[in-house]
Amino acid sequence: MTKCTFCGRRAAYHRRYAGVFLCDRCMIRSVERRFRRSMGEHRLVSPGERVAVAVSGGKDSVACMHLLADYCRRKNCELVAVTVDEGIRGYREESLPIARENAKQLGVEHFVVSFEQAFGATLDQITTLARRKGTGLNPCTYCGVMRRSLLNQAARELDADKLATAHNLDDEVQAIMLNYVRADFSRLYRLGPSYPPREGFVPRVKPLRGIPEKEVALYALLKGIKVHLGVCPYVGGIHAEIREFLNRLEANHPNSKFMILRMFDRMRPHLAEAMPEFEMRRCEVCGEPTSSTLCKSCELLRGLGLGRKQKTLISTKST
């Protein structure tokens, strides 16, 4: 039997990059401590603010909502939850009720916005259309851009001061690597513990950014939080390859993920100097902030012969 380095109980986790074993209790406490430290260190949320958290029903976002609910109770903040229903058959209809259930249990008001309602097409339909039209873009590109745009709009309509997403260490390091591979300088620059405030954007915060995905999963499992562990059917392509590569690196060289993140965070302030200045405008179609005439989301929709359907996302009733 392996024992917890701190209390001697049976270990539930070997944190190899730190050379310690943790039991269930010490593991839960450790994740909660890291979460609070990250909230404080980067001043992600100030007392009295209204926070919208994006919750899919998966382990990361549900764990994030639980941690935020506790934090907001202590700091007198208000928390609301938003789920984007992209319209992925066999996937989202399983995770959505779990998001709803957890929000209810925590007493967090919960709203659902959908691709279908906003764009007149589900992600499944968009994927079929994209394939037929030969746009060469994969579902994750559409999903990422459109989800971000809906979350921003929903958070703004809900009068949120901050929009919290559950990106963990793995997500963040993958994004860093992906933007390297694609040489996407401005996207790379925008990765950080919080999104630089820009007009029209609800500032985004990522409180789980310093916590490995496996530890977020362990936190949810050890706390007995009900989560959806399904895998998105569209997972694949370069995202999956980068993830696999990073996990192999981490298995053979523990701490690699943290090192990549730390190095990036050190370079980031210097990247600001190289960032081109551009004026923020409003998208002609939907009014979301953009640097050109159309926002990325409307541009993608136009390429498919689709367009924005519903202007306002949030009706007053929550689910």
Partner 1 sequence: MRLGEITVKVRVIGQRATRKVRVAQKTRAADLLNQLGLNRETVVVRLNGKIVAEEERLADGDSVEILPVVTGG
Interface with partner 1 by CB under 8 A: which residues? 1-2, 10-14, 21, 24, 56, 58-60, 170-171, 174, 213-214, 217-218, 221-222, 229-232, 235, 239-240, 243-244, 247-248, 250-251
Residue closer to Zn ion (CB basis): 69 or 118: 118
278 CB-near residues (< 8 Å, 6+ apart) = 291
CB of 282 to Zn ion, least distance (A): 9
CA dist 94 and 101 (Å) reads 12
Name residues contacting Zn ion, limited to 241-260 (CB under 5 A): none
Q: Which long-range contacts (CB under 8 A, 24 or more apart) does 282-291 make?
A: 282/200, 286/149, 286/153, 286/311, 288/149, 288/152, 288/153, 288/200, 289/198, 289/199, 289/200, 289/201
Q: How many residues bind Zn ion (CB under 5 A)?
A: 12
295 binds, among Zn ion, partner 1, none (CB under 5 to 8 A by kind): Zn ion
Residues in the chain: 319
Q: Which is nearer to Zn ion, 55 or 301 (CB)?
A: 301
User: Which distant-in-sequence residues (6+ apart) come within 8 Å of 87 by Cβ?
Assistant: 114, 115, 116, 121, 122, 123, 124, 125
Task: Name which of Zn ion, partner 1, none residue 6 binds, using a CB cut-off of 5 to 8 Å depending on partner kind.
Answer: Zn ion
CB 83 within 8 A of CB 56: yes
Shortest separation between residue 2's beta carbon and partner 1, angstroms: 5
| Closest alpha carbon to 257 in 183, 168, 191 | 168
Name the segment binding Zn ion (CB under 5 A); options: 24-32, 72-80, 255-263, 270-278: 24-32
Tell which residue, 148, 127, 129, 149, has the closest CA to residue 138. Answer: 127
**Among Zn ion, partner 1, none, partner that 221 touches (CB below 5 to 8 angstroms by kind):** partner 1
Nearer to partner 1, 59 or 162 (CB): 59
Q: Are 51 and 67 in contact (CB under 8 A)?
A: no
Q: Is 118 in the site for Zn ion (CB under 5 A)?
A: no
Does residue number 301 form part of the binding site for Zn ion (CB under 5 A)? no
CB of 24 to Zn ion, least distance (A): 8
Candidates 49-57, 60-68, 191-199, 286-294 — which segment interacts with Zn ion by CB under 5 A? 286-294
